[in-house]
A and B are shown apart, each in its own frame.
Chain A
């Protein structure tokens, strides 16, 4: 070999190893404690992505074992589609591989270093090869192979390749799955517990992946278990498959555009704009080029620096439709609720998924969850759970936009403690924040803190306000329920005893209690309850309206129910009518003094815990304790929004509807007096 060639080879070899060494900090391998978290993260992210693509409900096992000399053995096992034999070397042995690096859509891994980094780290720190055991459904045997990295040629070296019969695969994998992947490696690393640990990482991962079952076992040197966790899936609904989209002109930067122009197969700029970008119609493309004063027949690669700059400014001037947002994969409010319930035992959970928005050509979507009460510790700060594209963010909490959004809200009005109305609030709560975007901007290469972005923080604050109002409403309902419970105790238990005791003591007749009860209560009460009927798989809701006033009362009762696709109101004997999406109304006959009317119905298509608390509103004269007067003006607003949305959906999008607006509107200011009273006076003549 020629001397120069040898030097070149050597340089290349050094450069990959050196690249790794020098960039350990942002590749996540800077400390021994962090190395194991990063390795687990790379393997688990791959497993979740693979299962999602293969539409498989993921089951992931992570086993870690302490070895001598600060080394850990890591074994991860999934039930994913597996990797065909011929692709194994590529997936595990090449840096910067994978379609995800080029396509624009929301995926978990965005670093491109991925699992190869783990193989590399293991090799560099312990000289260990990485064993891969892969089973794909179409083959009757599994393939096992040891991998090392040939850094010189950026490829994997295979050794000890072997085929395992099905029974051995079942035994090795510990799963009854016909497909899956098992990775085993040894690396210099240290296992620790706490806020920044494998355990916490998997717990957070399980929250945003309620469809996954994840198990962790950590063994000491003598095989004793020193840490473990198991998070069982709470839903069988897989995340919506994400669609790849092209870049949007609004998100373009000079360098990217220059590279795209150079690499495109299109022959002229006009078709380049139309084919390589989202939402550029022939008309739009024509307008852009007119504005940039570029001939539409020009070859893309022939544009000057000035031309590219003109093009960029034309992008911002010409009106272009926002990019589609179905490339995002929100967890969706109901599933966040399930995820949170899986990991945190609480009394109350509220979640909000905002509708997708666009910032600088990048679609993004904010989701927020809040759990409250139950076993959560009431001293100390609330737990902040941050996620970007379903990936837990565990470091740099203080410098992250998602934390700043939480800190910028005055939580005191929602019932959490907060010094001076700023900072992370205190109390028995946990707040989850998820940012889904095709392009999450981080503060640094470590990708642990989301950087400032006004549009994102605005959306985030709106979502947080919503869950805050939800919490406030919940606390108010708890307070009212407590108050009515006391009153009911008073008239049902205490008063009859006072009557019978005083009568028998004095040897006098027992008094009639009903006029006394009316005087004591002097109000209309609403008692609501939602129970889960596990036999019929129904959420059963019962609403009782007690009239403890001296006059007959008539109301329309409106109940908020979790209306969505696949969910329906059943066993609703009183009928009633739909008020708007998510609200059902029943007009009740007048309830006489001392009387009670019950509304009962059930909701199917839900699972246990999806719906725990019914919000009850009323229209009519006189307050109902335990219920709120419906705000007619807001209701009108919702109807308009709903109408609008329906139209937009028909023409633009078929994606499932989310309607956080209802929640927002109903939980907003309800002090506005409704004009529903008129309705009763004109047609009711009830009083």
Chain B
């Protein structure tokens, strides 16, 4: 995220401001604190200007009057110190490594990796920096891409490597690195009409085997469940820099709806950088609730967790359009969900010969073949 990156000094200053907020209060005889936006669906709102969902104005104060919060403040200081060291010594570490390093921080030790990941995000939010500025890497798995797209990636030796995602890769495709900013990855050229994001590996492999990328002149990207930051960022760049539409093909269940929301509207956890990660023009292709009946797909009963998740989505600001309300209500009515691969009921080619062409025509007006 070139435009957002901070210099070494800027990052350290921003981190010091966090420590200064604590110190200033202590000098006034007040318990130290850190102020953060509330990070829940209750505090995300649509930003008209950026066309994505961002954190609203609700703030939460984390102050040292409870043991839990005091721990968080101390950890924030330890993390700050650790990041300064890394910036100084030009090293980087993964979030998991930081979690293990915290073993040596006494009372500042993290209880779980989730805690350390959350704190890294907290610091991004309060400093306005990105974790790349902090020299922290995710170990999350980036996506893989197949299709006639050509990238240029800077390898470990610092040389630019040209990779065509159809001709230069094996069946598993091109692996998206964790850093997809222009200093690491450049979009060179393409010959595709749209990009299709696919939730499950099974369906990705089916489409690859059936040669759908060539048949439909598209790029295929495997999301691996809830997509990593880099996956969303690379889709956003493809969409913006090449003007290529993004379509999303997932299971029909409440969790798939959330995957789509994080791609198109912004994820709750990363709402502070939604404008860099979300692709507002992304289209939800399917499987839609209505398809379960329309295509008479093999389905499963919704579990109580599914039903709860659907109900929660009804109060999620990102799902307030009529289309989504209908989509969610219909699924609740049916009491059913279906997987992408249930399309195999009609044979292995049904998805590429019938289902996707029908959907693409319906949603994008594209005629395949």
Q: Identify the A interface with B (CB < 8 A).
A: 486-487, 489-490, 493-495, 497-499, 501-503, 505-506, 508-509, 511-513, 515-516, 519-520
Question: Among B31, B64, B67, B74, which residue has its beta carbon within 8 angstroms of that of A501?
Answer: B74
Pick from A486, A505, A512: contact of B19, CB under 8 Å: A505
Cα distance, A393 to B122, chains bound together (Å): 62
In the complex, whether B14 has a CB less than 8 A from a CB of chain A is: no
Q: Are the CB atoms of B31 and A511 closer together than 8 Å?
A: no
Question: Contacting chain A: which of B46-54, B76-84, B136-144?
Answer: B76-84
Minimum distance in angstroms from B17 CB to a CB of chain A: 10
Within 8 A of A (CB), among B18-50: 19-20, 22-23, 26-27, 29-32
Pick the residue among A486, A490, A505 that contacts B16 (CB under 8 A). Answer: A505
Q: How far is the CA of A515 from the CA of B30 in the complex (A)?
A: 7
Cβ of B106 within 8 Å of any chain A Cβ, yes or no, is yes
Given A497-B106, A498-B22, A498-B73, answer yes or no on A505-B81 (Cβ-Cβ < 8 Å).
yes
Q: From the candidates B29, B65, B80, name the one contacting A515 in the complex (CB within 8 A).
A: B29
- Chain A nearest CB from B110 CB (Å) reads 14
* Proximity bits, B166-209, A CB within 8 Å = 1, else 0: 00000000000000000000000000000000000000000000
**A503 and B67 alpha carbons, distance in the complex (Å):** 21
Q: Does B107 count as interface, using CB distance less than 8 angstroms?
A: yes
Q: Residue among A486, A499, A502 with the most chain B CB within 10 A?
A: A502
- Shortest A226–chain B CB gap in Å is 46
Give A494 to B68 CA distance when docked, in angstroms: 10
Output the least CB separation between B86 and chain A (Å). 15
**A513→B29 CA distance, assembly (Å):** 7
Of B30, B32, B71, B84, chain A has the most CB atoms within 10 Å of the CB of B32
A489 near B78 with CB under 8 A, answer: no
A513 to B26 alpha-carbon distance, docked (Å): 7
CB <8 Å contact, B22 and A502 = yes
- A486, A493, A511, A519: the one contacting B23 at CB < 8 Å is A511
Knowing A490-B64, A490-B70, say if A516 contacts B26 (CB, 8 Å): yes
Complex Cα distance A506/B368, Å? 62
A12 CA to B340 CA, complexed, in Å: 90
B228-243 vs A: 1/0 string, CB under 8 Å?
A: 0000000000000000
Q: Could you tell me the distance between the alpha carbons of A495 and B66 in the complex, rounded to whole angstroms?
A: 11
Give the chain A neighbours of B71 by CB distance below 8 A: 494
A384 to chain B, nearest CB (A): 36
In the assembled complex, B108 has its CB within 8 A of some CB on chain A: yes
The residue on A at minimum CB distance from B71 is A494
Can you spell out 16 A-B residue pairs with CB atoms less than 8 angstroms apart?
A: A486-B66, A489-B67, A490-B66, A490-B70, A494-B67, A494-B70, A494-B73, A495-B64, A497-B108, A498-B77, A499-B32, A502-B26, A506-B20, A511-B27, A512-B29, A519-B29
Contact of A497 among B26, B30, B66, B107 (CB under 8 A): B107
Contact yes or no, A519 B31, CB < 8 A: yes
Give CA–CA (A513, B28) in the complex, Å. 10
Instruction: Pick the most buried of B29, B81, B106, B107: most chain A CB atoms within 10 A of its CB.
Output: B29
User: If A498-B74, A502-B77 touch, does A516 touch B23 (CB 8 Å cutoff)?
Assistant: no
Chain B, residue nearest A505 (CB): B19
With most chain B CB atoms within 10 A of its CB, the pick from A505, A508, A512 is: A505
Encoded as 1 (CB less than 8 Å from any A CB) or 0, chain B from 341 to 362 comes to 0000000000000000000000
Of the candidates A489, A511, A515, the one having the most CB atoms from chain B within 10 angstroms of its own CB is A511
List of B residues within 8 angstroms of A509 by Cβ:
27
Query: Majority SS of interface residues in chain A?
Result: helix
Are B64 and A494 in contact, CB atoms less than 8 angstroms apart? yes
Contact status of A519 and B77, CB under 8 A, knowing A493-B107, A498-B22: no
For A495, the chain B residues whose CB sits under 8 A away are: 32, 64, 70
Which single member of A487, A505, A511 contacts B77 (CB below 8 Å)? Answer: A505
The residue of chain B having its C-beta at the shortest distance from the C-beta of A521 within the complex is B65
Residues in A whose Cβ lies below 8 Å from that of B67: 486-487, 489-490, 494
Provide the bound-state CA to CA distance between A414 and B129, in Å: 52
Q: Which 9 A-B pairs have the closest CB atoms?
A: A515-B29, A511-B26, A486-B67, A502-B23, A494-B70, A501-B77, A502-B19, A490-B67, A511-B27
Find out whether the CB atom of A494 lies under 8 angstroms from the CB atom of B77.
no
How many A-B residue contacts, CB cutoff 8 Å? 81
Contacts of A513 in B (CB 8 A): 26
Whole-angstrom distance from the CB of A7 to the nearest CB of chain B?
80
Inter-subunit contact A501/B26 (CB<8 Å): no
Q: Evaluate contact between B30 and A516: CB separation under 8 angstroms.
A: yes
Smallest CB gap from A510: residue in B: B26
Q: How far is the CA of A494 from the CA of B16 in the complex (A)?
A: 19
Residues of chain A with a CB closer than 8 A to B106's CB: 497
Q: How far is the CB of A548 from chain B (nearest CB, A)?
A: 12
Bound CA span A508–B66, Å: 25
Per-position 1/0 for B67-100, Cβ under 8 A of A? 1001101100110110010000000000000000
How distant is A504 from chain B, measured CB to nearest CB, in Å?
A: 9
Q: Report B-chain residues with C-beta under 8 Å of the C-beta of A501.
A: 19, 74, 77-78, 81
- Residues on A with C-beta less than 8 A from B26 are 498-499, 502, 511, 513, 516
B23 touches A494 (CB 8 A): no
Which residues in B have their C-beta under 8 angstroms from that of A508?
23, 27
Is B29 a contact of A498 with CB atoms below 8 Å? no
Query: How far is B181's CA from A352's CA once the two chains are assembled, in angstroms?
Result: 73
Chain A residues with Cβ below 8 Å from B16 are: 505-506
User: Chain B residues with Cβ under 8 A from A487's Cβ?
Assistant: 67
**In the complex, what distance in Å separates the CA atom of A502 from the CA atom of B77?**
7
- New A-B pairs, 12, CB < 8 Å, besides A497-B108, A501-B77, A512-B29: A490-B66, A494-B64, A494-B71, A494-B73, A495-B64, A498-B26, A499-B26, A501-B81, A505-B16, A505-B84, A506-B23, A511-B29
What residue in chain B is nearest A511 (Cβ atoms)? Answer: B26
Asked whether A498 lies within 8 Å of B32 as measured between CB atoms, the reply is yes
Roughly how many angstroms separate A557 CA and B31 CA in the complex, as a whole number?
Answer: 31
- A490→B23 CA distance, assembly (Å): 17
- Bound: A487/B66 CA distance, A: 7
Q: List CB contacts (< 8 Å) of B213-234 with chain A.
A: none
Of the residues A486, A498, A505, A511, contact of B64 by C-beta under 8 Å: A498
Residues from chain B with Cβ under 8 Å of A490 in the complex: 64, 66-67, 70
Cα A516 to Cα B28 with chains together (Å): 9
B154 to chain A minimum Cβ distance, whole angstroms, is 34
**Shortest distance in angstroms between B72's beta carbon and chain A's nearest beta carbon?**
10
B309 CB to nearest chain A CB (Å)? 30
The answer to whether B31 touches A516 (Cβ under 8 A) is: yes
Given A490-B64, A511-B26, A520-B65: A502 in contact with B32 (beta carbons within 8 A): yes
Per-residue CB proximity of B284-326 to A under 8 Å, as 1/0?
Answer: 0000000000000000000000000000000000000000000
Residues in A with CB closer than 8 Å to B64 are: 490, 494-495, 498, 516, 520
With contact pairs A502-B23, A511-B23 given, residues A497 and B29 touching in the complex (Cβ less than 8 Å):
no
Shortest CB-to-CB span from B119 to chain A, Å, is 15
CB distance from B106 to the nearest CB of A (A): 7
Docked Cα-Cα span, A486 to B77, in Å, equals: 20
- Cα distance A41–B78 in the bound complex, in angstroms: 66
Chain A hits for B77, CB < 8 A: 498, 501-502, 505
CA distance A494 to B20 in the complex (A): 17
Contacts of A512 in B (CB 8 A): 29
Smallest CB gap from B16: residue in A: A506
Minimum C-beta distance from B268 to chain A (A): 29
CB distance from B111 to the nearest CB of A (A): 14
| A contact residues around B23 at 8 Å (CB) | 499, 502-503, 506, 508, 511
- A351 CB to closest chain B CB, in angstroms? 35
CB contacts (< 8 Å) of A489 on chain B: these are 67, 107
In the complex formed, the residue of A with least CB distance to B84 is A505
B81 touches A520 (CB 8 A): no
Quick one: which of B30, B74, B80 contacts A505, CB cutoff 8 A?
Answer: B80
B26: nearest residue on chain A (CB-CB)?
A: A511
Chain A residue numbers with a CB within 8 Å of B65 are 519-520
B32 contacts which chain A residues (CB < 8 A)?
495, 498-499, 502, 516
Q: How many angstroms from the CA of A497 to the CA of B80 in the assembled complex? A: 14
A523 to chain B, nearest CB (A): 11
